[in-house]
Every structure is written in C-alpha cells, then in structure tokens.
Amino acid sequence: MRIQPRAVIFDYGHVLCRPQAPEEIEAMAAFFDVAVERFLPVYWPYRVPYDKGDLSPTAYWNTVAADLSRNHLSNEQIEALTELDNKSWAHPDPVMIDWARDLRAAGVRTAILSNMPLPLRKHLDCCCPWLPEFDQKTFSCDVRDCKPSPGIYRHTLNGLGVQPEEALFLDDREDNVRGAQAVGIHGIVFQNPKQAQCEIDSRFSIPVPLRS
C-alpha cells in the first residue's frame, strides 16, 4: 500500500533551483584572481557556519580571502561577491516550482527547508517573485540550525502541523535525507524530476504528478 503524505518538504538548492552556472562561479573566483579549481575548495567548507548565521557575509568572504592568501576585502567587494553569490542560487527549476505550487493548490501542505545564509534568504524575498507560496519556510539562518540536525526538521514539522510520518522530504544530499528519516520523515534523494517521480510513483500516492 502506497503512502499518502499530507505534506511535501522541499530543499531549495538543486531542487527548487538549478545548480550554479559555471560562469557565475568563475566570476566569484575572478575576484580573488584564482582558478575555479582553487576557489571551490575554500568556498564550501565555511558554508555551514555562514548558513547558520555564525559567520556574517564580511566574515565569510574574508575567511575565503585569507585561505586564498588574498588581502582583506573592502565593503564594496564583499557586497559585490554577496550579490554574485545570491544570483548564482536564484535560477528556478520550472518543473519543481510548478509542482510545489500545484501541490499546495491541491491541498497538500508544502514547505521549504534549506540551509541558506541570510543574504540569500533576503534575496529570495525581494528578487525572486517566481518562488511560490509555502505553508512553512524554514531557513537555517533564521533558526540558527542546519540540516541534518534533528531540530531543524522538527521545526519544519511543527510549522506544517503534521507528524513526521505524514511528510515527504526531497533533498539532493543523502546525509540530509538520512537526517529527515532519522526523525521519521519519508525521504527521497533528489537527482532530477524524472527520477523523483519514478520513486514517488513506486512508494507514494500524491494527487498531483511531477511532470518532467
């Protein structure tokens, strides 16, 4: 018997939005006059404290600069880098956006659960009108907690007003899906809409199909 979730919880990056474009990563790396291959290994390690709010944009980008043996950044450089970074995470996946909107219209409760720094969260609010309405939005920068910590999943469930077993979570990272499953939420490791729909069809009964 297939499961009938009352709620679907979406990760943001690589699920509701597409991956960063190579030219956008190259533009950030160019600020430090380094190749992408040197930039990315220092871009990612500090994202969790940045997403959690433990690092401000100034602290985050200056930590990256220090690891690249570059000078302390000016306020203007930090603002420019932050804007580039925000825009690189703001390319919607129309299939997933439409599905999230249609699910909610069909009476399924929906949520975003994302590790996200405050500047990007503000950018979504002001500059991304394509993002549909959700019944709950849980961002790490607001709750000062990150996936796969159990508390951030429980915060989302409380906001949705559902029990863990009544929710389905989609995330592109296996560790985040395992974190959801550890608190009793059903999970799918998202690769693309077609793959997700195949898994949904085999395990769940949802009133609105995911049309890839």
Q: With cut-offs at 50, 70 and 90, classify the pLDDT of residue 32.
A: very high
Stated pTM of the model: 0.97
pLDDT for position 148: 98
Q: Is the CB of residue 103 less than 8 Å from the CB of residue 8?
A: yes
Reply yes or no on whether the pLDDT at 212 is more than 80: no
Here the tokens at position 20 are: 């960063």
Tens of pLDDT, residues 135-190: 999 999 999 999 999 999 999 999 999 999 999 999 999 999 999 999 999 999 99
User: Distance between CA atoms of 49 and 64, rounded to whole angstroms?
Assistant: 13
How far is the C-alpha of 168 from the C-alpha of 184, rounded, in Å?
A: 10
Tokens of 112: 């975003």
Report CA-CA distances (Å) from 131 to 38, 106, 159.
33, 17, 19
pLDDT for 114 equals 98
Is the pLDDT at 1 greater than 90, yes or no? Answer: no
If residue 36 lies in a helix (H) or strand (E), which one and from where to where? helix 36-43
Rounded CA-CA distance 142/176 in Å is 18
Q: Which fold has domain 7-19+91-203?
A: Rossmann fold (3.40.50)
